[in-house]
Amino acid sequence: MSDISDDIKQVLYSEEYIKNTVESLASRINADYKGTEPLFVGILKGSFVFMADLIRRIDLKCSVDFMVVSSYGSGTSTTGSVMILKDLSENIEGKNVIIVEDILDSGLTLSYLINYLQVRKPNSIKICTLLDKPARRRAKVLPDYTGIVCPDEFIVGYGLDYAEKYRNLPYIGVLKPGAYA
C-alpha cells in the first residue's frame, strides 16, 4: 500500500501559502462586512477544510450553514446536471450570504446555486473561493473573493478530492494521471 503523497506529481500550494491566502481573504471579508452579521454557506464536501480555517479568522458576528450540491459524481469533470442533496437549514431572507467554495471551475454549479438562492430574497449573495480555475469556465460566474487563480490541472488536497480521497492532504497538489486514469 502506498502513501497518498506518492500519487502527487507536484505540490502547487504549500500549507503555509494556503494559510496566508486564507488570512488575506478573511481580512478582506472582515473589512467589507464590518458592522454586519453575514451568513457563510459552505458547499460540501470540498469546502469543509477551507471553511473551517476561514471562519476561525472572521472577527464578525456571523452564522454558518452548509449545502451539499453535486454535479460531478465520481468523475473528473462536471456532468453539468446539478442536484441539491442538502439544502440550507435557515431562512436567508434579508441576510448577507457568502457562499464558500473550495474551487470555482466551470461555474455551472455556482450559477445554478445563485439563481436557486436568489428566490429566497437575501440582501446579497457573494462568492468566496479558495481556488479559481477560469480556464474551465462555462458559466458567467465571477467570484467576489478569490484566494488563488490556479492552472488547469487536476488538483487535490486541502478538501479537494478525487473519488473521495486526498481531501486530508495539508497542501494542494497535482494528481498524477495514473492515480485517476
Residues annotated as part of the active site: 105
Burial 146-156, CB ≥16 within 10 A → b, else e: bbbebeeebbb
- Nine-digit cell string for 149: 487563480
The Cα–Cα gap between 178 and 95 comes to: 45
Residue 29: which of 17, 41, 19, 38 has the closest Cα?
38
